[in-house]
Structure 1
Amino acid sequence: MKTFVPFSQLRQRPTIIVDSTGLGAALTLAHWRGAPTPEALRDDTSAGSVLRALRAPTTPGLEAEAVTANHFDVDGFVGVWSLLHPELALQHEHLLRLTATLGDFREIEWHDPLAEHALKLVCWLNAEEKARFYEPFGAPARRRREDEASAEKFDWFLPRFREILENPEAGRAAWEPEVERVRHAIAIMQSARTTAHAYPEIGLLVVRTPEPLPYYALFGPTAGFDMVLSLYDDNRYEFEYKYTTWIDLESRPTLPRLPLTGLASRLNALEQSPHRWTYDGVTDTGPLLRLEGKRLNKAQRYADPDQRPIYSSFIAPNVLEQEVVAFFREKYAGIQPRRYWTWAEVRAAGDAVSG
């Protein structure tokens, strides 16, 4: 039997780290860039690496009885829970993989027969986390360290997750409002009101839809793409590098993130609204390029697009799309996609095309 321990106890006994890194771990099961996850156990999600490990019981370090993570999110939680309940985890492996992927990448194939179940699990986790604790990336605002504060979330969720996994109706009161919001957004995404134009050579998907939508709907059909340009009515726009380029993605090669400085400068030269185009750095979990009013904090940037202000631009939608596509076609022209970029290599690629 394994037990969860706070991250601060990592070196007190042999411990498995999930969705995190740290010195002294008996075994690391994480998709973080550069994490020492055994090669045979690498997976798109950290929970996926855990599930691979459970099918390889002789993995060195898997015998450790303590399990930890330095933050709480859906992927990490599913991985920790799976180590504590290995037989149940393997029994529900496909559902847990869908849940981890939806939680981390906001991607899902809605035709999958277990997609709705995964959505309910993710929405239950999200709703209870916000109601009982604090929102993702919200610990600093409460003057707390995430690696310490998140232990309280694990202690509450770990003994309760099995019931919702096996009978999601037991958590309906928590997940229903969010599930209905996402269902409504999915209907918009699947209607004639929404179009998508793919640029696979640069990993970009351009989505035109009337209003900002929850990520689970907006990014649901974006598997295989690492950048999303969202074009809303009234010349409202956001560009985002997906989380798939922050981690070591196992399933396919990717292009490195590039600094958005040059693109923002070009858009600001065209912009005549009161707002300016601003951007996040390449090491942010999901860098945004957008017109700024008041600067968003990390929790606001992580929240759904329909939960933050998005300002109208002077630039026409087709012009904006052309500018974004032209920028990345030029910058990526001499770069080949591959797996396992280091952060040093990502920065070097950005320096090479920015000079």
Structure 2
Amino acid sequence: MPFSYLPFPQIKTQPAVVVDSFHPNGLVLSHWREAPTPAELREDTSAGMVLRALRLQWPDLQKYSFVTANHFDIDAFVGVWALLNPELALAHEETLRQMAVIGDFRELDLSTAHSQKALQLVCWINAQEKEKFYPPFGASELEENEVTASIPKFHYFLREFGSVLENVELFHKVWKPEVQEVMQGCQQMVSSSAEKIQYPEVGLFVVRTPEPLHYYALFGPTAGYDLVLSCYAGNRYELECKYTTWVDLESRPTLPRPDLRPLAHVLNDLETSGLQWVADGVTDTGPLLRLQSEPLTKVQRYGNPTQRTVQSSSIEPDAFVQIVVSYLQNAFSGVQPKRRWAWGEVKLFNLRNNKI
């Protein structure tokens, strides 16, 4: 039975396959933490779960004729589109899988086949989304919420994406500017001006580059790590918990997501620039610790580092890295990585640390 797209508010009365979201009135295919996705279909991305279900001809799919998601992003869109276009989706399965990884985790692996096309398609969606609608995480600045505001995005991209997928070069004027920025960042990441240091025992990847880079270039080499410390010239730093610790990863165990706000207090005791270190809460989709002169909007926080100002700290780079590493080593002392941390466990872990 062919699927049709169902706007999320209608799922209250119409059962559906629920992609990259959660609702009890349907089959959930989502990597959201604690989502009741069938164990046999679990993957790192929600789109990957949909593609696996199609590949396995999962019997429960036959029970539904609608598919929905409560927000628009690359992972959710690819999953919804795949159910509407199963034959074409399976013909381009690896490209779609990589689109979901690039879109959600910002991890671009140029050594993988189909990565260039996946990047081009992601950048086409990014450009069209900003031009014709509102940018990712921009719904908070609209009168509508994301559940409602995302519906026109789905209608547009579900209609247009298939022709772009099969003829991506014809749309190069749309995707080329961002792809060029990403590729320039990738070149810088492998140049002598970039330094990369791994601390696998705490899941930290430290990157030192002269200036901020596009996320797809910055996070590309960090696959397998869940925290990224970016160090730029002039004592400028940002520490981020990747989205990999907001979801349930299937490919590897993780440590629980650490609360960065106590670390901000430690840094503020040392900071003499007159600015304040701030950090987002542990349940934010991508908590960011940074030196703040004025608050960032959600669009700025989730936009590329090249699109926001990173302030200079009074703390020297080697000392800053050591402070971060020591904080994480103390936080994770005696904790073993595992799969599927419940949010309650994450909160208890941080409650313990906040009392130390």
Short-chain TM bin: over 0.9
**Residues of 2 paired with 1:19 and 1:53: CA distance?**
14
Matched, 1:184 2:184: yes
How many residue pairs get aligned? The number is 354
In the alignment, what sits opposite 2:6? 5
Please report how far the alpha carbon of residue 56 of structure 1 lies from its aligned counterpart in structure 2 after TM superposition: 2.3
Alignment of 1:3-82 (within 5 A): 3-25=4-26, 27-82=27-82
Taking structure 2 as the reference length, what is the TM-score of the superposition? 0.98
Distance 2:325 2:119 in 1: 32
Change (3 A) 1:14 1:61: farther
The alpha-carbon deviation at position 131 of structure 1 amounts to: 0.2
Q: Kindly state the Cα deviation for residue 264 of structure 1 after the two structures are TM-superposed.
A: 1.1
Distance in 1 between residues matched to 2:341 and 2:59, nearest whole Å: 25
Inter-partner Cα distance in structure 2 for 1:62 and 1:237: 50
Contact 2:14 2:25 in 1 (8 A): no
Match of 1:230 in 2: 230
Unaligned 5+ residue runs, structure 2? none
Aligned to 1:118: 118
Instruction: Measure how far apart 1:172 and its partner are.
Output: 1.1
Give the partner amino acid of 1:266: V
Cα shift readout 1:310-332 (whole Å, capped 9, x = no counterpart)? 10000000000000001101110
Offset of 1:87 from its aligned partner?
A: 1.1
- Asked if the contact 1:16/1:62 (under 8 Å) is kept, the reply is no
CA distance in 2, matches of 1:353, 1:113: 42
Q: Hey, what's the Cα distance between the residues in 1 that align with 2:40 and 2:63? A: 17
Q: Which residue of 2 aligns with 1:242?
A: 242
Contact 2:271 2:315 in 1 (8 A): yes
The match for 2:85 is 85
Contact in 2 for aligned 1:260/1:279 (Cα 8 Å): yes
Q: In 1, Cα distance between the equivalents of 2:186 and 2:143?
A: 37
Equivalent residue runs for 1:93-242 within 5 Å: 93-242=93-242
Contact 2:261–2:280 (8 Å) recurs in 1: no
Displacement of 1:154 in angstroms is 0.7
Question: Aligned partners of 2:122, 2:74: CA distance in 1, in Å?
Answer: 7
Question: Which residue of structure 2 aligns with residue 340 of structure 1?
Answer: 340
**Quick check: 2:78–2:96 contact (8 Å CA) kept in 1?**
yes
Amino acid at match of 1:322: Q
> Among the aligned pairs, what percent are the same residue?
53
- The Cα shift of 1:61 comes to 4.2
- CA change 1:61–1:87 in 2 (3 A) is closer
8 Å CA contact 1:163, 1:170 repeated in 2: no
Secondary structure of the corresponding residue to residue 201 of structure 1: helix
Query: Equivalents in 1 of 2:55, 2:176: separation in Å?
Result: 34
Tell me the amino acid that sits aligned with residue 351 of structure 1.
Answer: L
**1:92 positional shift:** 1.0
Please state how far the C-alpha of 1:300 moved relative to its aligned partner. Answer: 1.0
The answer to whether the 8 Å contact 1:256/1:337 transfers is: yes
Contact 2:135 2:299 in 1 (8 A): yes
TM-superposed deviation, 1:62: 4.4
TM-score by length of 1: 0.98
Q: Match for residue 350 of structure 1?
A: 350
CA deviation vs aligned residue, 1:9-61 (integer Å, no higher than 9, x gap):
11332211100011312x11100001111111111000000011112224324
Aligned AA (1:189): M
User: Which segment is superposed worse, 287-296 or 254-263?
Assistant: 254-263
Aligned letter for 1:11? K
Q: Distance in 2 between matches of 1:344 and 1:62?
A: 34
Distance in 2 of aligned mates of 1:332 and 1:169: 47
Deviations along 1:119-172, whole A, 9 cap, x unmatched?
Answer: 101000000000000001111211111111111001001121111111111221
Q: Alignment partner of 1:310: what SS?
A: coil
**Counterpart secondary structure, 1:197:** strand
Q: For residues 118 and 52 of structure 1, what CA distance do their matches in structure 2 show? A: 18
**Larger helix proportion of the pair:** 2
1:300 matched residue in structure 2:
300
Distance 2:3 2:80 in 1: 10
Aligned partners of 2:308, 2:115: CA distance in 1, in Å? 27
Amino acid at match of 1:154: F
Q: Whole-Å Cα distance in 2 between the matches of residues 60 and 93 of structure 1? A: 21
Q: Distance in 1 between matches of 2:153 and 2:63?
A: 25
Distance 1:140 1:228 in 2: 26
* SS in structure 2 of the partner of residue 205 of structure 1: strand
Q: Answer whether contact 2:236 2:310 (CA < 8 A) is retained.
A: yes
Q: How many angstroms apart in 2 are the aligned matches of 1:101 and 1:11?
A: 30
CA offsets 1:207-233 (integer angstroms, 9 cap, x no match):
000101110100011100000000000
Alpha carbons 1:53, 1:62 under 8 Å: kept: no
Runs of 5+ in structure 1 lacking a partner? none
